[in-house]
Amino acid sequence: MGSQASDLANTLQMPDSVSAAADELYYRMWLVRYFDEKVDEMFAKGMIHGTTHLCVGQEATAIGGCAVLRDEDKITSTHRGHGHCIGKGADVNRMMAELMGRATGYCKGKGGSMHIADVERGNLGANGIVGGGIPLAVGAALTSKMMKQNYVVLCYFGDGASNEGSFHEAVNLASIWSLPVVFLCENNQYGMSGSVKEMMHIEHIADRAAAYGIPGVVADGNDLLEVIRVTDEAVARARRGDGPTLIEAKTYRWKGHSKSDGRKYRTREEEAEWKAKDPILRFGSTLLASGACTQDDLDRLQQRARADIEAAVQFALDSPMPDIATLEEDVFA
């Protein structure tokens, strides 16, 4: 980081591993918010087909988790993965083009919302299968250890995936082999329409770490700085060769499970309570209170993010659809 960014990081007690300035992290959270809100809008207008799962309200886990990673480090994502992609440095133009089925998209318009991958930047891909990315993360971590490549894998998954067999099998393997992987559970309180309180008889998903002999950490998933600090400690532990950590970041998705979800299983009062904990506004308040930014600074960053998303939409609209001749390309049979 430059001297100004370093001073800002010191003011906010951010770890040295964070390569982005704090104001840049604020901008990236707004980029995630506006990306998914724009996607929601375009689905309603029939401009995007298929389905999508929005992460509005979960910006701190996506940006905070990725903030401590090196370029060579990897992530695995989920069906609710747009924020993770942006956190790992994805081009929002190519992301938007992918959702709109354009040839300039990350998967040439053939993958859609749940299959964005950017291997060059260490994003091993989103996954439409609940818990599907967890074994992939462990496999990538095993590669890192066996090949002595010294990268760490940050594995994102949701509360529902913690009840899948793939979670338990993968965490067990990562533990006994001391693999360089960090399991980051975004507990957004609901697996589809079921409350997490109805799905497991423990208070914290992180409590499950004890069964595998690894640290379990509970974090406020709406506090960007807390997410950064706990992830930084877990990544450093993994990089030292001390094995995995299970982080449970408690957060909340503002939208429904998918675009067709009317959210009839929860109250508007509950939603209002969580929206009052908006992770972007909380971090903005921290920047203001520390003197790191003025309100004008924050407004400019927010406007920059909005403009970048509008530009991404235009890029996608101006991009060609895939040629019919490419139908069978990039497909395994």
- Residue from 306, 317, 314, 315 nearest 37 by CA: 306
pTM recorded for the entire structure? 0.94
Measured between alpha carbons, how far is 52 from 50 in angstroms, rounded to an integer? 7
More confident residue, 9 or 198: 198
| The CATH fold of domain 36-276+312-318 | Rossmann fold (3.40.50)
Q: What region does 304 belong to: left with phi over 0, alpha with psi -120 to 50, or beta? A: alpha
Q: Say which DSSP state 320 is in.
A: P
Amino acid identity, position 27: Y
CA dihedral (244, 249, 252, 253) positive or negative:
negative
pLDDT of 35 > 50? The answer is yes
Q: Phi first, then psi: what are they for 281, rounded to 5°? A: -65, -35
Amino acid identity, position 50: G
Domain ranges of the chain: 36-276+312-318
State the DSSP H helix or E strand holding residue 35, giving kind and residue range, or none if neither: helix 22-44
Measured between alpha carbons, how far is 61 from 226 in angstroms, rounded to an integer? 10
Q: Count of alpha carbons within 13 Å of 163, Cβ hemisphere only?
A: 14
pLDDT of 332 > 70? The answer is yes
- Confidence band for 333, pLDDT divided at 50, 70 and 90: low
So what's the pLDDT on residue 3? Answer: 44
Residues 156 and 28: beta-carbon distance below 8 Å? no
pLDDT of 7 > 80? The answer is no
Each residue of 142-195: pLDDT tens digit? Answer: 999 999 999 999 999 999 999 999 999 999 999 999 999 999 999 999 998 899
pLDDT of 2 > 50? The answer is no
